[in-house]
C-alpha cells in the first residue's frame, strides 16, 4: 500500500484527506476532541510538505441532506485551534462554496468541507450514485489520502470510490491502527486477554467467534453479561436481555471450556430499581439479582477479579464499557478496567467508540494506554476477520 512519500512532491498539489472527525457534540460544544487530535499528524505533515490540504469528514447520521445539527463548523474551528492556523470552511460538500474555498488555498493551507453525509451519494448503495459524488469530490483534488480509520469498513464515496479516481495513499493514523491490530491477531504476545462490554452480545458475535481460538482469557461485562447469566439459568431481573442469543452464549461457554480459554463472567453486579440519575444503587451477587432490579454495572468484587486477570497480561484488547459509565453510580467497573490496563506491561489497546470516550471522561490520559483506537466498528470488523473496503481499495 502506498505511503505519503510515494505520492511524490506535494507542494502546490491539492490533497484530499478523508479524516474521521465524528466527535460528540453538546450543541456547538465538542465534548471529546480525541478524534480531531488523532487526525493532526497526517494533516500537519501534508501542510508542512506544501500541499493544499482539503479535509473531508462526516458527523453523525444525517439523512443525505444538510442539517445544521450535524454541521462540521465547530470542528473546523477546533481543528484550526489545534493546528495553530485558521482552517477555511466550505459550507457545502462539492458546490460553489467548496470550489471557491479550495481554489483560494495557498501552499500549506488547510480547508474542511462540510459534512460529506449531507450528500446522499456518500452512503448510497447504488454504485453509480456513489460514484457520481466521488467524481465531484475528485475534481477538487490531485491526490487522495485515506486517514479516517473509523470509516474504512464502509464502502462510501469519500472512503472507497474516490481512491479509484485519484493517486491514493494511506495516512499515518490508518497505518498505525493497522499495525496495532496486526499485533492483536498475528502471534500476539501472551498471556492475551480480551475484555468485551457494551450492551449487546449480537454486536460482538464475530469478535467472540474469531478470538475464542486466539485469546487466553475472555472477560465479559456491560449489558451483554446478562444474556450470559440468563443462559446459565440465573435470574436477571429487568436487565438487558437478548433472548435469541441465549443458545449462542451457551455455545460460547462450551467452546471456551473446550478450547482452554478462561471465560470470566462477573460474580457481582450493581443494580437499581430503574435506570436514571436518581437511581439508588446496590451490590448483589450475579446469581441473585432481585426480580425487580436492573443491572447497570459490574460489582466491586468483579472489578477486583477482572483486574487480577489483567495483571500478568502481555496483550490486552478492550472494547465496550462495563456499565453505564456516564453516571457516577455505575462507572466504577469501567474505571477499574481502565486503571488495570494502565499497568499492563505489554500492549494495551482501548478499542475505540464508547471505551475511548469512557477513559477520557473518567480522567485517564491517552498516553496511559498503549493505543486508543479511533475506530470501534472498524477495529471489531478487522478482529472478526472481515475485509475493510477502504483498506483493500488502496492495495
| Catalytic site residue from 37, 190, 200, 314 | 200
Which structural domain, as residue segments, surrounds residue 140?
4-171
Taking CA 372 as the corner, what is the angle to CA 369 and CA 376, rounded to the nearest 5 degrees?
A: 145
In order, the DSSP letters of 197-252 are: -SS-SGGGHHHHHHHTTT-SEEEE-STTHHHHHHHTT---TT----GGGHHHHHHH
Q: Is 200 a catalytic residue?
A: yes
- Determine, yes or no, domain membership for 147: yes
Rg (CA), the chain: 22
Distance CA(189)–CA(182), nearest Å, equals 12
Q: What is the pLDDT of residue 277?
A: 66
Q: What is the pLDDT of residue 35?
A: 93
Burial (0-12, 13-18, 19+ Cβ within 10 Å), 384: middle
- Determine, yes or no, domain membership for 392: no
Query: How far from each other are the two terminal CA atoms of the chain, in whole angstroms?
Result: 5
Beta strands of the chain (E only): which ranges? 14-18, 25-26, 29-30, 52-56, 88-89, 110-112, 143-146, 168-170, 192-196, 217-220, 262-264, 268-272, 282-285, 294-298, 315-319, 347-350, 371-372
Tell me whether residue 22 is annotated as binding. yes
| Catalytic site residue from 13, 18, 35, 214 | 35
- Determine, yes or no, domain membership for 66: yes
146 and 112 part of one domain = yes
Q: What is the pLDDT of residue 274?
A: 84
Q: What is the pLDDT of residue 375?
A: 85
Beta bridge partners of 347: 315
Domain count, the chain: 2
Distance CA(335)–CA(68), nearest Å, equals 35
282 and 166 part of one domain = no
Q: Is 18 a catalytic residue?
A: no
244 and 369 part of one domain = yes
Q: Is 35 a catalytic residue?
A: yes
Interaxial angle between packed helices 172-185 and 34-48, expressed in degrees from 0 to 180 and rounded to the nearest 10:
120
Tell me whether residue 154 is annotated as binding. yes
The CATH number of the domain where 205 resides is what? Answer: 3.40.50.1260
- Determine, yes or no, domain membership for 143: yes
Distance CA(202)–CA(207), nearest Å, equals 10
Grid coordinates representing 284 are 448483589
56 and 132 part of one domain = yes
- Determine, yes or no, domain membership for 389: no
Of the candidates 134, 125, 123, 184, the residue with the CA atom closest to the CA atom of residue 162: 134
Low-confidence ranges of the chain (pLDDT < 50): none
49 and 115 part of one domain = yes
Picking from 152, 171, 190, the residue at the C-terminal end of a domain is 171
| Catalytic site residue from 148, 223, 323, 353 | 353
pTM above 0.85, yes or no: yes
| Catalytic site residue from 50, 206, 370, 377 | 377
Phi-psi region of 187 (alpha: psi -120 to 50; beta: other; left: phi over 0): left
Q: What is the pLDDT of residue 262?
A: 96
- Determine, yes or no, domain membership for 194: yes
In our burial notation (b when 16+ CB lie closer than 10 A, e otherwise), range 269-297 reads bbbbbeeeeebebeebebeebeeebbbbb
222 and 353 part of one domain = yes
Q: Is 320 a catalytic residue?
A: no
Q: What is the pLDDT of residue 126?
A: 98
- Determine, yes or no, domain membership for 393: no
- Residue 33: alpha-carbon gap to chain centroid: 13
Tell me whether residue 210 is annotated as binding. no
Tell me whether residue 7 is annotated as binding. no
Report DSSP state, residue 366: G
- Determine, yes or no, domain membership for 394: no
Q: Give residue-wise pLDDT tens across range 341-382.
A: 999 999 999 987 788 889 999 999 999 999 999 888 899 899
312 and 353 part of one domain = yes
123 and 214 part of one domain = no
Picking from 127, 142, 171, the residue at the C-terminal end of a domain is 171
160 and 219 part of one domain = no
246 and 192 part of one domain = yes
Tell me whether residue 60 is annotated as binding. yes
Q: What is the pLDDT of residue 318?
A: 96
What dihedral angle (degrees, nearest 10) is formed by the CA atoms of 209, 302, 344, 219?
A: 0
121 and 201 part of one domain = no
Picking from 171, 190, 214, the residue at the C-terminal end of a domain is 171
54 and 103 part of one domain = yes
Helix (H, G, I), strand (E, B) or coil at 118: helix
Amino acid at each position: 500500500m502506498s505511503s505519503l512519500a510515494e505520492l511524490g512532491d506535494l507542494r502546490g498539489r491539492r490533497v484530499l484527506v478523508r479524516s474521521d472527525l465524528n466527535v460528540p457534540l453538546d450543541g456547538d460544544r465538542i465534548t471529546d476532541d480525541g478524534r480531531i487530535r488523532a487526525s493532526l499528524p497526517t494533516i500537519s505533515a501534508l501542510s508542512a510538505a506544501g500541499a493544499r490540504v482539503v479535509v473531508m469528514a462526516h458527523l453523525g447520521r444525517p439523512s443525505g441532506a444538510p442539517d445544521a445539527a450535524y454541521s462540521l463548523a465547530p470542528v473546523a474551528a477546533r481543528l484550526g485551534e489545534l493546528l495553530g492556523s485558521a482552517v477555511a470552511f466550505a459550507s457545502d460538500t462539492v458546490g460553489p462554496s467548496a470550489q471557491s474555498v479550495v481554489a483560494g488555498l495557498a501552499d500549506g493551507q488547510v480547508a474542511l468541507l462540510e459534512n460529506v453525509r449531507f450528500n446522499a451519494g456518500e452512503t448510497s448503495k447504488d454504485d453509480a450514485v456513489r460514484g457520481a459524488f466521488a467524481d465531484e469530490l475528485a475534481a477538487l483534488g490531485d491526490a487522495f489520502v485515506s486517514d479516517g480509520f473509523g470509516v474504512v469498513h464502509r464502502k462510501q464515496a469519500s472512503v472507497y470510490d474516490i481512491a479509484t479516481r485519484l493517486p491514493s495513499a494511506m495516512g499515518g493514523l490508518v497505518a498505525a491502527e493497522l499495525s496495532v491490530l496486526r499485533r492483536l491477531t498475528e502471534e500476539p504476545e501472551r498471556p492475551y486477554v480480551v475484555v468485551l462490554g457494551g450492551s449487546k452480545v449480537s454486536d460482538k458475535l464475530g469478535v467472540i467467534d474469531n478470538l475464542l481460538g486466539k485469546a487466553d482469557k475472555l472477560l465479559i461485562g456491560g449489558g451483554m453479561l446478562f444474556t450470559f447469566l440468563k443462559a446459565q439459568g440465573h435470574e436477571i431481573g429487568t436487565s438487558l436481555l437478548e433472548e435469541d442469543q441465549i443458545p449462542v452464549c451457551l455455545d460460547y461457554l462450551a467452546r471456551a471450556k473446550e478450547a482452554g480459554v478462561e471465560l470470566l463472567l462477573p460474580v457481582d453486579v450493581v443494580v437499581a430499581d430503574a435506570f436514571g440519575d436518581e437511581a439508588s444503587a446496590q451490590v448483589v451477587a450475579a446469581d441473585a439479582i432481585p426480580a425487580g432490579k436492573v443491572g447497570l454495572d459490574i460489582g466491586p468484587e468483579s472489578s477486583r477479579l477482572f483486574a487480577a486477570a489483567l495483571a500478568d497480561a502481555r496483550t490486552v484488547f478492550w472494547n465496550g464499557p462495563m456499565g453505564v459509565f456516564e453516571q457516577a453510580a455505575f462507572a466504577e467497573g469501567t474505571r477499574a478496567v481502565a486503571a488495570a490496563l494502565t499497568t499492563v506491561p505489554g500492549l494495551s489497546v482501548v478499542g475505540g467508540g464508547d471505551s475511548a470516550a469512557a477513559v477520557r471522561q473518567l480522567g485517564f490520559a491517552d498516553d496511559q494506554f498503549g493505543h486508543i483506537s479511533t475506530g470501534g466498528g472498524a477495529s471489531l470488523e478487522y478482529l472478526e476477520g472481515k475485509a475493510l473496503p477502504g483498506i483493500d481499495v488502496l492495495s
